[in-house]
Structure 1
Amino acid sequence: MRFLSTLAASVLGTLIAVGALLLFVFFFIFAISLSADTTPQVQRSTILTLDIQGPIPERVSKDPFTRAIADQPKYDVSDVLSALSKAEKDDRISGLWIRLKGTQASWATLEQIRNAITAFRDSGKPVIASSGDFGMIEKDYFLASAADSIYAGPVTAFEFNGFYLPQTFFKGTLDKLGIEPKVVRAGQYKSAIETFTRNDLSEENEEQLQAIIDTQYDVFLNAIADSRSIDEQRLRDIASTDAPMDVRPAKDLGMIDDVRYTDEVVDVLRGIVGVSPSDDVRMMGIDDYARVPSSDVGLETTGDGRVAVIYGTGQIVPGDDDGGAFGSSGMMASDPIIEAFENARENESIKAIVFRVDSPGGSAAASEAIWRAVKRTKEVKPVIVSMGNLAASGGYYVAAPADTIVASPSTITGSIGVFGLLFNVEGLLTDKLGVGLDNVSTSDLADMYSPFSDFSEQERTLLASSIDRTYQTFLQRVAEGRKMSVEAVDSVAQGRVWTGRDAQEAGLVDVLGGLSEAVRIAGEKGGLGEGPYAVQTLPRQKTFFEKLNEDLSSQAARVYFDQTASDLERQMQAKRDRIRYYLSQSGTVQAVLPYEIDIQ
């Protein structure tokens, strides 16, 4: 029997070894093939294609293994911006074809891309937008309206019926489960906890959310009115009373130019490049063109030095969290951000830093640690903050020390406030499950953070004092960075959420613009001339193999879910992850955006 077990173990070990060897050989051959990848060659009369589908992240991995294996978008925001900027000057690029396939990008991201498309069109090169058989929602149309001509496929949907901002509340669910939230907050508008304590919007919360959606609607309508030469009030009336539900009424209203199949749109492109109906149109995707060196189109960098762009995206958490081999964790971990600022501060070739913040906030302690790194760096070199879709609560905390804060009009920012959240599950355990609870302790305050009892008055007072001290520190950090009095900051704080446009009026933002504008300001402040500038991105992204060695199994499960889950399942998982985050942070002070803001 022992002989058979030994034999089986030997055979199994041999099979594992052979499998590992084959896997290594496969990856080795794959690595050689990827390393042989050359710079794309652009031929004359090429049409640049921009496929807009799904999310457009702030940053995708440049590691060829990760890009080839992981389920990631082909390009990020900076890829699009740099490609369109180069294409303006490239005589080989004859035009731009925007192929809309259902975008899930944030409004602030779309605003940056739309501005880049407008700049490309203003250079004199034609821009065509089409939706094929995908139809158009408002986000698609927002981008398409920047084109010279808009085409949509026959028998497709067209959505233009105004915006709404849904919110989800779990008080009823918690009541049924016998779970009671234990909450202390600082800030009249700091409504992060309302999702657990109410079944509807409070008056303050409704006020700020209505202001956000109204601002975004204004930006949306102003852009379309200007590009399509349709009166803004007329657009409001269309959305309220005559909302077109398919492309035919949209064409009759002058919102699109024609209803055409994709092959008919290609015929339009043939006319642009001047080829016969039997010839193919040369095309190059934005992801390939982004790899074309700027020097190929005569865009030589100016100045003796570089601008570092430090990306801080996702929920702010302490420590290190890179998300594993197959993607990003979606967290702004404090350790790599602090290290990136240290590297940029000590690197003599880096003359200025852009801190790209796209975060709803998170841990107050981690936010303070990152704030310190930003402040120390600012004392040595210019630091410009570029706000993405979100730079709220802790996301604003880490931005406050910067020399200049740049935000898109659609950016969600502010939310200067803090809260503490715990859950009392005593009712669930005792009333619903019949579990008995008891304990011994050395003091009356020892079980203050216990999930098995409510706060006493003394405990609530102590936690409220701690929350208020953190809030006052938050106010002081902002006051110091913005050169305002604490009282002035408090008047626009209180946890209130602002759009970038309104935040500028409130004194929380300096300049309206995107990442390109922030890099321009950083280059000028760093003494690098008029630009373009050499840019170095930080923190350094780990390679596929570095991540693979860390947590293969959990990432395999994530990839499987991403590939097989429906949209509804992904939405439910996102809500589950958010609740799980709150549960994991029970007893800690949080500076985090109150809710998901997804204007639809």
Structure 2
Amino acid sequence: MASTDQSPLVVAVIAGVLVGAAVAPVAYGYTADASDDTGTVAVVELTNPIAGTTAQPVVRELRAVRNNESIDAVVLRIDSPGGGAGASEALYLAVKRTAAAKPTVVSVGGVAASGGYYAAAPADSIFVTPASIVGSVGVRASLPDGSTLPRGVTTGPDKASGGTAEETLARVETLRQAFLGSVMSERGDELSLSREEVGQAKVYSGKRAVNNGLADEIGGIDAAIARAASEAGVDSYDVVYRGPDVSRGFFLFGSEEGSVDRVRYLMLYGEVDAAEATNETETARAVAPAQEVHP
């Protein structure tokens, strides 16, 4: 028979369990009142021009949520005009891997153009608002302003230029075809546009994008979250927001691709910021002329 002097020990154990339950951290993705049958939708934000410094935190967040078993579905909130080609491609691949692992829906805020649209393309569904700007499937090249440098101060004949105009054009076209091919592969079944039409790099209003297949539905972030949860098969769910802490200040597009004397290849809608001291090449002007939104 157990001795009665064990009762203080029992009380202490019970008290310890109760205290531990009170102070234990909440399981990732769940609120304190979540029940066992409650699902979780993670929202990851891409709300900056795309460069290495802005893309990599988003890539890391996407990796984290797709590897987290407590996350049932993902919404990627995009408000970006694009940016560096290399960083845009990294985002595309990260979203594609995430969509292969669990339901992934994109919610477009103001703009998902060029590299921003590249990141959106692999998602299971793309939600836009009527006034969203979508599209601009194209590539252009820019180079730093080297006018202040003495001519001939190079280590090779093409060091300052990054290559001949023909070589630059060939690289731009290679990147363009890769971008275009990815969009056609991801969105081909929904598109009413031909490959040639998509390749014109036009931008469209959200309503027009739904009509031509570049996007799926009109709706805000809540609609996108509801769709993601539905595709994951969860009726009751919590939402966790995962936003990389990235400064909205100065971005050097293409800085992830090499030193400052290299030609920069951009998947960017709009003008390169003047603070970057860049001049578009004639190649860029030929490949990516001024764009007009098609309502």
TM-score relative to the length of structure 1: 0.36
Query: 2:177: which partner in 1?
Result: 472
Shift of 1:441: 4.2
Say if 1:304 and 1:349, in contact at 8 Å, map to a contact too.
no
Query: 2:241: which partner in 1?
Result: 537
Counterpart-to-counterpart distance in 1, 2:112 and 2:154: 44
Which of 322, 347, 369 is residue 90 of structure 2 equivalent to? 369
Query: 1:167: which partner in 2?
Result: none
Counterpart-to-counterpart distance in 2, 1:335 and 1:409: 30
Counterpart-to-counterpart distance in 2, 1:381 and 1:448: 44
Matched residue type, 2:159:
A
1:134-173 matched pairs, under 5 angstroms: none
Is 1:391 aligned with 2:112? yes
| RMSD, matched Cα | 3.4
Matched residue type, 2:183:
V
Indicate the structure whose relative CO is greater, using CA pairs within 8 Å and at least 6 residues apart: 2
Counterpart-to-counterpart distance in 1, 2:150 and 2:75: 55
Is 1:588 aligned with 2:256? no
What do residues 242-290 of structure 1 show as CA deviations (whole Å, max 9, x unaligned)? xxxxxxxxxxxxxxxxxxxxxxxxxxxxxxxxxxxxxxxxxxxxxxxxx
Counterpart-to-counterpart distance in 1, 2:86 and 2:218: 29
Query: 2:213: which partner in 1?
Result: 507
What do residues 339-369 of structure 1 show as CA deviations (whole Å, max 9, x unaligned)? 1111111111111100101101001101111
Q: Is the alpha carbon distance of 1:391 and 1:470 closer, same or farther for their aligned partners in structure 2, counting shifts above 3 Å?
A: same
Is 1:379 aligned with 2:100? yes
Counterpart-to-counterpart distance in 1, 2:193 and 2:165: 26
Residue-pair matches, total:
239
Counterpart-to-counterpart distance in 1, 2:220 and 2:268: 23
Matched residue type, 1:391:
A
Q: Is the alpha carbon distance of 1:496 and 1:370 closer, same or farther for their aligned partners in structure 2, counting shifts above 3 Å?
A: same
Say if 2:84 and 2:253, in contact at 8 Å, map to a contact too.
no
**Higher gyration radius (CA):** 1
Shift of 1:316: 0.6
Is 1:483 aligned with 2:197? no
Say if 2:111 and 2:133, in contact at 8 Å, map to a contact too.
yes
Q: Is the alpha carbon distance of 1:506 and 1:528 closer, same or farther for their aligned partners in structure 2, counting shifts above 3 Å?
A: same
Matched residue type, 2:211:
E
Query: 1:6: which partner in 2?
Result: none
Shift of 1:303: 4.6
Say if 1:504 and 1:511, in contact at 8 Å, map to a contact too.
yes
Is 1:420 aligned with 2:154? no
Counterpart-to-counterpart distance in 2, 1:414 and 1:302: 41
Query: 1:255: which partner in 2?
Result: none
Shift of 1:537: 1.3
Shift of 1:490: 3.4
Secondary structure of the 2:50 match is strand
What do residues 85-142 of structure 1 show as CA deviations (whole Å, max 9, x unaligned)? xxxxxxxxxxxxxxxxxxxxxxxxxxxxxxxxxxxxxxxxxxxxxxxxxxxxxxxxxx
Counterpart-to-counterpart distance in 2, 1:537 and 1:346: 16
Counterpart-to-counterpart distance in 1, 2:62 and 2:253: 27
Say if 2:192 and 2:213, in contact at 8 Å, map to a contact too.
no
Shift of 1:437: 3.4
Counterpart-to-counterpart distance in 2, 1:540 and 1:361: 17
Q: Is the alpha carbon distance of 1:587 and 1:301 closer, same or farther for their aligned partners in structure 2, counting shifts above 3 Å?
A: farther
Counterpart-to-counterpart distance in 1, 2:108 and 2:194: 22
Query: 1:437: which partner in 2?
Result: 151
Higher helix share: 1
Secondary structure of the 1:402 match is coil
Secondary structure of the 2:230 match is helix
Which of 453, 460, 466 is residue 165 of structure 2 equivalent to? 460
Secondary structure of the 1:355 match is strand
Q: Unaligned 5+ residue runs, structure 2?
A: 1-30, 274-290
Say if 2:127 and 2:224, in contact at 8 Å, map to a contact too.
yes
Query: 1:406: which partner in 2?
Result: 127
Counterpart-to-counterpart distance in 2, 1:302 and 1:317: 40
TM-score relative to the length of structure 2: 0.71
Matched residue type, 1:386:
S
Which of 505, 521, 524 is residue 230 of structure 2 equivalent to? 524
What do residues 412-435 of structure 1 show as CA deviations (whole Å, max 9, x unaligned)? 110111100125543xx4xxxxx8
Say if 1:381 and 1:526, in contact at 8 Å, map to a contact too.
yes
Which of 22, 42, 46 is residue 312 of structure 1 equivalent to? 46
Q: Is the alpha carbon distance of 1:507 and 1:538 closer, same or farther for their aligned partners in structure 2, counting shifts above 3 Å?
A: same
Counterpart-to-counterpart distance in 1, 2:150 and 2:69: 63
Q: Is the alpha carbon distance of 1:483 and 1:585 closer, same or farther for their aligned partners in structure 2, counting shifts above 3 Å?
A: farther
Counterpart-to-counterpart distance in 2, 1:337 and 1:446: 33
Say if 1:475 and 1:486, in contact at 8 Å, map to a contact too.
no
